[in-house]
Amino acid sequence: MKSNNKHSQGRVAWRSPSNIALVKYWGKYGRQLPKNPSLSFTLSEAYTDTYVEYDIDPNRAQLELTFSFHGKTHAAFEDKIRKFFMANPDDFPYINQLKINISSQNSFPHSAGIASSASSMSALALCLVHMEQKVYESSLGQAQLFTRASHLARLASGSASRSVYGGLVCWGETEWVTGSSDYYAVPISQGVDPVFLSFENTILMVDKGEKPVSSTAGHALMNKHPYAEMRYYVARDHVNQFSEALANGDIAAFGRLLENEALALHGLMMNSDPSFILLKPNTLSIIEAIREVRDSEDFPWYFTLDAGPNVHVMYPHEVATQARKYIETRLQPFVQDNGILYDRVGQGPSALVWPS
């Protein structure tokens, strides 16, 4: 990035969605690099809006940062963002000249078990790259700007690297995806049957409490996990198997892999040392009901889980009306406070205009 000595001020804003992993990223090394490639669908309705006001002054000597969440200062998030800047000085050569006011809000309740770091950190990364483009008039093309945003998002939260793009996204090197990298995510635009690009993803909130294990601590559990190497092997194999199911429009094969990945993630957590059981009794009741309806009604729906007790139910758009009926009658009884978010595969982030 070519620096200039001008004093520059401005505003940028981005909306960025959360994503749900099909092949899970669980285990990392170095500076937020994944031990295995992961695949995800970017969502549509669960997103973060981030507004950034910046002032880059060559005479400033230290970063000045404020952060507010839903209109209120939030010390913990502010601290996280400050650490992200400070831990990656090579990526932000202008950091000590920067004064930045960040305000952010989610479309979904905080701590609802939706990956808020993916949406919030990708939204922030996109704002930063947009700011850099305005201030330093970089010659990077559109694709390179998104690559840089994905790289920055990854440094803040690995899964956030994937939220920079819509649809199906891959992060981590795999033979299947040309140009894939451990350093940033890439969108997968070919070899995917359209049925998957309009897939529904309904999030059932079983427990809105804070997670008992942070994702940083969770990834660290893999460092001395006895099954770690086998897990990374299986994850790579699952990426290959997903590539076939996705290309062939094979919903049943897709669903089998999806559920296996979800249970593998929780299995690894359960037999880690220390051990964590994040599933709740109602998580299992929902899983049983999904499988029961699938088997008895030959109904094509499947579940996945993030690192928490909430369930993501996935099904093709054409069965959405019937799925909604099953959700209301069979699954809702196990959901906390009517916490159901009807989401779907989405188009990815968009720039926002500042309210006048």
Minimum distance from residue 215 beta carbon to ligand PMV (Å): 3
Minimum distance from residue 201 beta carbon to ligand PMV (Å): 13
| Best CA proximity match to 169, nearest among 248, 106, 246, 110 | 246
Site membership for ligand PMV, residue 246 (CB under 6 A): no
What are the residues facing 99 on neighbouring strands? 55, 64
Length of the chain, in residues: 356
Q: What is the DSSP string of 282-322?
A: HHHHHHHHHHHHHHHHT---EEEE-SSS-EEEEE-GGGHHH
Site membership for ligand PMV, residue 306 (CB under 6 A): yes
Q: Which helix (H) or strand (E) holds 126?
A: helix 116-136
- The binder of ligand PMV chosen from 12, 17, 18, 25 (CB under 6 A): 25
Instruction: Pick the closer one to ligand PMV by CB: 122 or 147.
Output: 122
Q: What's the Cα-to-Cα distance from 283 to each of 6, 162, 189, 315, rounded to whole Å?
A: 55, 26, 33, 18
Q: Which helix (H) or strand (E) holds 265?
A: helix 251-270
Site string for ligand PMV, 28-67 (x = CB under 6 A): ----------x-----------------------------
Task: Quote the CA–CA distance of 205 and 217 in Å, as a whole number.
Answer: 23
Query: Interacting stretch for ligand PMV, rule CB under 6 A, among 17-25, 63-71, 202-210, 290-298?
Result: 17-25
Site string for ligand PMV, 322-351 (x = CB under 6 A): ------------------------------
Regarding beta strands 98-106 and 38-56, do their DSSP bridges make them parallel or antiparallel, or are they unpaired? Answer: antiparallel
Instruction: Pick the closer one to ligand PMV by CB: 38 or 202.
Output: 38
Site membership for ligand PMV, residue 21 (CB under 6 A): yes
Query: Interacting stretch for ligand PMV, rule CB under 6 A, among 51-59, 67-75, 156-164, 251-259?
Result: 156-164
Minimum distance from residue 97 beta carbon to ligand PMV (Å): 29
Site membership for ligand PMV, residue 158 (CB under 6 A): yes
Instruction: Pick the closer one to ligand PMV by CB: 56 or 235.
Output: 235
Structure token digits, residue 47:
């997103």
What are the residues facing 262 on neighbouring strands? none
- The binder of ligand PMV chosen from 14, 17, 24, 196 (CB under 6 A): 24
Task: Quote the CA–CA distance of 262 and 292 in Å, as a whole number.
Answer: 18
Cis peptide before 274 (omega within 30 of 0): yes
Instruction: Pick the closer one to ligand PMV by CB: 303 or 326.
Output: 303
- The binder of ligand PMV chosen from 307, 331, 340, 341 (CB under 6 A): 307
| Best CA proximity match to 196, nearest among 259, 254, 263 | 254
Task: Quote the CA–CA distance of 353 and 330 in Å, as a whole number.
Answer: 41
Site membership for ligand PMV, residue 117 (CB under 6 A): yes
Minimum distance from residue 46 beta carbon to ligand PMV (Å): 13
* Residues of this chain that bind ligand PMV (CB under 6 A): 21, 24-26, 38, 115, 117, 157-159, 215, 265, 306-307
